[in-house]
Amino acid sequence: MAKKLGPPIFLGVFTVLAIIFLTGGASDDKDTLRQTFQVDAVYYDTGHVEISFFDKSQKTTNVVMEILGMDETFQKTFSDSEFIEIVPFPNEPKYGWAIHPIVLEIDHEELGHIQLKTEIHPLGESIPTVIYSTP
């Protein structure tokens, strides 16, 4: 008895198309954002997180940074194209750093309003993926 290959082939094609759609397809329109902005959030064993932001174009006019998932959400506004902020974080979270995402709302002279999201990572570990969004 021959097996029906229709459903598995459809599922495979659907999965590939979904991945292409979700990642932006072959031409990645987020390349400009990746090349323009650098963000990193490093946890140090001394009990603090160092968050750094750098706009290579130097055309950022305003950045609102938030650390979510805390008892009281941390929020601070910057009016420069680069900054380093030290935030006390006495303990590593029980369920990992993903529960404390760093979100940046950026106003840029040429690119408009941009949102960036990343995660904190311990010193020595690789930088997590940065998610870029333009509303």
CATH number of the domain residue 42 falls in: 2.60.40
Residue 107's SS3 state is strand
Q: Is residue 31 part of a domain?
A: no
Kindly indicate the confidence band of residue 71, based on its pLDDT and cuts at 50, 70 and 90.
Answer: confident
> Predicted confidence band at 58 (pLDDT cuts at 50, 70, 90)?
very high
Whole-number Å distance between alpha carbons of 120 and 55:
19
Tell me the mean pLDDT in the region 58-64: 97
Cα 15 from Cα 6, distance rounded (Å): 14
Enter the tokens of residue 30: 């987020």
Residue 94 inside a domain? The answer is yes
In a domain, 47, yes or no: yes
Within a domain: 119? yes
- Straight-line distance from the first to the last Cα atom of the chain, in angstroms, rounded to the nearest whole number: 53
Find the domain containing 92 and state its range.
37-133
What whole-number distance in Å separates Cα of residue 7 and Cα of residue 73? 46
The answer as to whether 6 is a domain residue is no
Distance in angstroms (rounded) separating the CA atoms of residues 104 and 75:
10
Which pTM does this prediction carry? 0.75
CA distances from 94 to 53, 70, 82, 98, 100 (A): 26, 13, 31, 11, 11
Percentage of the chain exceeding pLDDT 70: 79
- pLDDT at res. 91: 82
pLDDT in tens, 5-35: 545 444 444 454 445 455 544 445 688 899 9
- Summary mean pLDDT of the chain: 84
Q: Domain count for the chain, please give it.
A: 1
Q: Is residue 12 part of a domain?
A: no
Q: How far apart are CA 44 and CA 102, in angstroms?
A: 16
